[in-house]
């Protein structure tokens, strides 16, 4: 999917809102290029939906529409004064009714970008990390054994 401009993005979000929620989307939506670990977010104070443009470019239309539907669940429940947070029952029920994903898939460009590898001395469990960790402070999550640094990729 090619990156679309702000007006086309608003029209897409409004179309999805009317189709799945039978309500118009009347507030703001925009791309936020600084989002890294999430497909989108809803900011209740500003009534603003921000979407990660990388998902539109890398993941395809179905994944991007799923992210929009997820953020619209937050949006419509917030406007109605119902529970719009992830832990709320209203939110989880609306996700199911609209076929929206609970989480977005990781970006292919961000996957398996590990630089540091640690191994448990006791059970040989492997931990891959982007950042270095203090092996004096952290233990194996499986058996509580000591960790050792293996390599940098």
* Phi, then psi, of 73 in degrees rounded to 5: -60, -45
Strand (E) or helix (H) holding 94: helix 89-98
Q: Annotated catalytic residue: which of 8, 11, 58, 71?
A: 71
For the record, the structure tokens of 90 come out as: 């209203």
For the record, the structure tokens of 14 come out as: 């409004």
**110 noted as active-site residue:** no
* Phi, then psi, of 90 in degrees rounded to 5: -55, -40
Q: Which residues are tagged catalytic?
A: 71
């Amino acid at each position: 999917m090619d990156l679309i401009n702000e007006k086309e993005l608003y029209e897409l979000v409004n179309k999805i809102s009317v189709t799945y929620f039978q309500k118009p989307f009347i507030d703001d939506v925009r791309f936020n290029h600084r989002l890294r670990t999430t497909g989108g977010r809803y900011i209740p104070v500003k009534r603003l939906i921000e979407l990660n443009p990388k998902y539109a470019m890398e993941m395809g239309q179905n994944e991007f529409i799923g992210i929009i539907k997820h953020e619209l669940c937050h949006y419509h429940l917030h406007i109605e004064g119902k529970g719009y947070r992830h832990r709320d029952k209203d939110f989880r029920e609306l996700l199911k009714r609209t076929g929206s994903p609970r989480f977005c898939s990781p970006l292919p460009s961000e996957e398996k970008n590990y630089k540091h590898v640690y191994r448990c001395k006791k059970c040989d469990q492997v931990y891959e990390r982007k950042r270095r960790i203090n092996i004096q402070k952290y233990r194996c999550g499986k058996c509580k054994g000591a960790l050792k640094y293996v390599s940098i990729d």
